[in-house]
Structures are given as structure tokens and as C-alpha cells.
Amino acid sequence: MAKTNAGILGTGHSYPEGILTNADLEKIVDTSDEWITTRTGIKQRRKAAPNEYTSQFAVRASCEAIERAELKAADIDLILCATVTPDQILPSTACLIQAQLGANNAAAMDIVAACSGFLYGLALADPMIRAGQSKYALVIGAEILTRYVDYTDRGTCVLFGDGAGAAVLGPVEEGRGILAAKICSDGRYEEQLYARGGGTKGGFSAETIARGDHFFKMKGNELFKVAVRSMTDISREVLDQAGLKTEDVSLFIPHQANQRITDAVANKLDVDNSIVYSNIAMHGNTSSASIPIGLDECVEAGRVHDGDVILMASFGGGVTWGGAVMRW
């Protein structure tokens, strides 16, 4: 029997309408458009309205991805939703998405791996499909990060935005689809990005809320160094595993955290800027959503062609990191 690989059959993305510009932030925190632009590359980010929630954007992105894969929701047998900003603690956002899609034949669960969540999903769906355990998997990255951002902390509030991206994976012929994927973690760096409130350790009470324990806290410049190192190393590793070199890459979609991180990784890998995707100016850091949104924007813009080699790399709170290389 011919071997199969797992490949992406369709992609989609969705954003809230609301926009928060650097000029808006200048009015609420001690920052400037000049600082944000030069230190991060961000000009604006999307911000969900108070009555909007994560699964709404995930469902819109998923419907698009399923339609482009020319499938029906009932064909999906696995839903992996990467998010650190779920609709609610229980049930998983993946289950809420499963119900809204009417994906009645799917197992569903969330992945909590922060900004690496989408690549965690790809790396898990890949062997499931190759082994015949799953035929069509829906992998989603969806976040409403602005809900967990402290708008008095200028070190974090300028960075994060909201959105969702999705991809449908299914069997493709050998030599195409995901050629190599790897995911990693090192929990010793947990202090670099965390939100303690609301869990069984940090607890939740009027006091924890008043203290802002539920907001993200971050050691930005320490994370910066880990990000550059881990994304560079994992990119080299997956390319090596696939028997490819950076010269073979047609498109590099790194996690969108900071333009300076993207530039440093691209520089270390020695890939030309023309093949590096960046949408950070428009959307900031959307965590697990950033890579699938980037991929879908590239598909829509006609930047992805049959046979192209696409490299993706991410890092995030945990810390976690991951890489994947695929042939379109």
C-alpha cells in the first residue's frame, strides 16, 4: 500500500473588527508610536469587543478552511484547538467549536502551548493521519489575548492582539505535506511569561482580581534571547530532518512576536527577507493564531505555489517552541 503524508488541504482566518492603534495606546499608557514601532514593528492590533469570545473567531476561520479543503464539517474526525484564552475553563474550546461546526464525528481537545500551540497541533495531527488514526484533522490557533493584558503595563500591553487561524489536514502523497515537525518545551523558564490567577495554585478571589493576577506578566528581554535561539535551532533541525537546506525554502512563516526577533532569526538562518512573512505591523502578537493566520494570508495573497517548501517556527510561554517544514 502506498504511504501517505499529512498535508494542509485548506486554510482560513478571522479577526475582530475592532482596531487598537499605537496612537490609542499613547492615550492610556506611557508609550509612544515611535517606541512601539522601532522596538517591535507593531502599528496596530485587533481587539475583540467585550461580548465577543474566542470560539466565534475559531469557527469562522474553521468554516473557511473546511470549505477550501472541499470538505464538510462531518468529514472532520479530529479538532485540536490551540489557545491560552479559552471561552471558559470547561468544556474545552475545541468542544464548543465542534458543536458550532456540527462536526459530529470529531474528537476534540485544546492544546495549551501558548504561541507554539498551532505547531504543536500540526506535529500531533501529522502522525495521527499518517497512521490512519485520523483522516481529516482541523488544527486551530485562536486567541483573545487583549482580555488578559494589563493596560497599565506598557511592557506587555503594546504587544498582543486577537484573531484566529485554522488549517484542515488530510492525507497527501508521499513527498508532499509535512516533511518534518518537532515540538519542545522547557518549564524551567515558566517565570518568563505567566498568568497565575484563576488556577488551583494562584486561586481566584476579589483580591486576586484586584491585584491583576489573571493578567500576563512577562520578562520581555529575557524571552527575546530564548526566542531567537530556539526558533533558529528548531528551524535548522526540521530542515535537516527533511534533508533540506535554507536555500530550498520558498516561504518562512515565523511566529509574529516582534519584528526584531523575526529579523534576527532570518539573519541567523541566512534567509532572504523577501521570503520571510511578516504581518506584525497590522496584528501584533496573536500567540497560537499568528502562524495559521500568516499562512492563510500568504495563500490568499498568492504567495504559496504548488511544490513550495514552507518553513514555520515558533516559541512561546512555557517556554515552548516548535518547527515544521512542508511541501505544498
Ligand X SMILES: CC(C)(COP(=O)(O)OP(=O)(O)OC[C@H]1O[C@@H](n2cnc3c(N)ncnc32)[C@H](O)[C@@H]1OP(=O)(O)O)[C@@H](O)C(=O)NCCC(=O)NCCS
Catalytic residues: 115, 255, 285
Decide if residue 274 touches ligand X (CB under 6 A): no
The CA dihedral of 193, 196, 198, 204, to the nearest 10 degrees, is -150
Applying CB under 6 A, among 51, 200, 221, 274 the residue interacting with ligand X is: 221
- Residue closer to ligand X (CB basis): 63 or 112: 112
Decide if residue 151 touches ligand X (CB under 6 A): no
> From the CB of 125, what's the least distance to ligand X, in Å?
22
Rounded CA separation 20/31 (Å): 14
Q: Please list every residue from 308 through 327 that binds ligand X, using CB under 6 A.
A: 316
- Residue closer to ligand X (CB basis): 79 or 145: 145
* Binding piece for ligand X, criterion CB under 6 A, among 66-74, 219-227, 274-282, 293-301: 219-227
DSSP lists the bridge partners of residue 274 as none
Decide if residue 154 touches ligand X (CB under 6 A): yes
- Phi and psi at residue 81, in whole multiples of 5°? -110, 115
* Binding pattern for the stretch 284-313 against ligand X, x by CB under 6 A and - elsewhere: -x----------------------------
Residues with Cβ within 8 Å of residue 78, at least 6 apart in sequence: 106, 107, 108, 125, 128, 134, 136, 137, 138
Q: Give the Å distances, CA to CA, from 46 to 212, 280, 290.
A: 22, 11, 12
- Residue closer to ligand X (CB basis): 158 or 164: 158
* Binding piece for ligand X, criterion CB under 6 A, among 43-51, 122-130, 137-145, 214-222: 214-222
Applying CB under 6 A, among 69, 108, 158, 238 the residue interacting with ligand X is: 158
The full DSSP string for 1-48 is: ---EEEEEEEEEEE--S-EEEHHHHHTTSS--HHHHHHHH---EEE--
Q: Which residues bind ligand X (CB under 6 A)?
A: 31, 35-36, 39-40, 115, 154-155, 158, 193, 218, 220-221, 223-224, 227, 257-258, 285, 316
